[in-house]
């Protein structure tokens, strides 16, 4: 079981340094587990605050076409959840960066809540996000995650009413995930005008760090969000670069170098 609270410690450290957190996302096992392991190690070296690792799932409802396509490619090769858990277990001793599991509620239900969180904590995950869990069913997940030593992170939409924001924040630990745009994941040309006001209202109901994701895909956007948030999460822009590299026939090493050059720019923008 993870009792180190790596995620909390990293936020405290970065606040002391006056830095905004940068949390990159990768689809686990895309294009294979070796690349996932290498990317996480390189992100750690680049100074990422944490890394989200997505568990591929056939019926994702929160993700846009870029991440859904990566899921389908992984599943077509015979991916299994245990393979990803084993890869994280082998990686944990090599990196200091906190690791967050981004996983569908359906996967948790299929494996069993207690079994899933226990295994996730044992292999070295530090946090858990189940983006599609209904709020009314979130309390058991929050309790089980906390008992296993995992931070439980929930999403707040731009349209979430103030009282529901308060209730969601009360079930969170580690940080609160503010969605930057309406709709699913994916890069956008611009971000919602009301984002800063939403962050201000959310700060009135929680002392946790607030990290912003969905729709953020460039160093310029990271810089703008970093000015008003405690952390910035980037996913689709990273996964897209992997897909483009595969379709261009680049080697895995070349893909990793390209992705890491981009993530280095994102870290610098915070």
d(CA 34, CA 47) in angstroms, rounded, equals 20
Could you tell me if 50 and 10 are in contact, meaning their C-beta atoms sit under 8 angstroms apart? yes
The residue among 166, 236, 46, 189 whose CA lies nearest residue 38 is 46
Catalytic residue among 8, 44, 63, 126: 63
Catalytic residue flag (residue 204): no
Catalytic residue among 8, 44, 52, 187: 52
Q: Which residues contact 206 (CB under 8 A, 6 or more apart)?
A: 166, 169, 170, 172, 176
Catalytic residue flag (residue 52): yes
Beta bridge partners of 213: 179
**Contacts of the segment 14-18: beta carbons below 8 A, 24+ positions apart:** 14/49, 15/209, 15/230
Residue linked to tokens 């994280």: 88
- 168: how many CB neighbours lie within 10 A of its CB? 21
> What phi, psi does 103 have (nearest 5°)?
-145, 140
Both tokens of residue 196? 């800063």
3-state secondary structure of 201: helix
For 136, which DSSP code?
A: G
Residues tagged active-site: 52, 63
């Amino acid at each position: 079981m993870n009792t180190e609270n790596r995620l909390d410690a990293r936020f405290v450290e970065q606040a002391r340094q006056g830095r905004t957190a940068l949390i990159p996302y990768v689809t686990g096992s895309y294009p294979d587990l070796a690349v996932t392991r290498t990317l996480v190690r390189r992100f750690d070296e680049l100074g990422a605050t944490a890394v989200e690792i997505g568990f591929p799932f056939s019926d994702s409802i929160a993700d846009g076409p870029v991440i859904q396509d990566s899921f389908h490619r992984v599943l077509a090769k015979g991916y299994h959840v245990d393979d990803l858990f084993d890869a994280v277990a082998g990686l944990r001793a090599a990196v200091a960066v906190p690791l967050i599991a981004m996983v569908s509620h359906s996967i948790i239900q299929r494996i069993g809540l207690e079994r899933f969180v226990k295994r996730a904590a044992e292999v070295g995950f530090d946090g858990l996000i189940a983006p599609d869990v209904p709020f009314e069913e979130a309390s058991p997940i929050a309790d089980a995650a906390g008992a296993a030593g995992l931070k439980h992170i929930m999403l707040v939409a731009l349209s979430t009413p103030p009282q529901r924001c308060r209730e969601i924040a009360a079930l969170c630990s580690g940080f609160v995930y503010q969605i930057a745009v309406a709709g699913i994941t994916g890069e956008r040309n611009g971000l919602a005008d009301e984002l800063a006001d939403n962050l201000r209202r959310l700060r009135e109901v929680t002392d946790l760090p607030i990290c912003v994701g969905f729709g953020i895909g460039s160093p310029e956007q990271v810089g703008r969000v970093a000015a008003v948030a405690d952390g910035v999460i980037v996913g689709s822009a990273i996964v897209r670069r992997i897909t483009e590299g595969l379709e261009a026939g680049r080697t895995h090493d070349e893909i990793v170098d390209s992705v890491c050059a981009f993530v280095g720019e994102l870290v610098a923008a915070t």
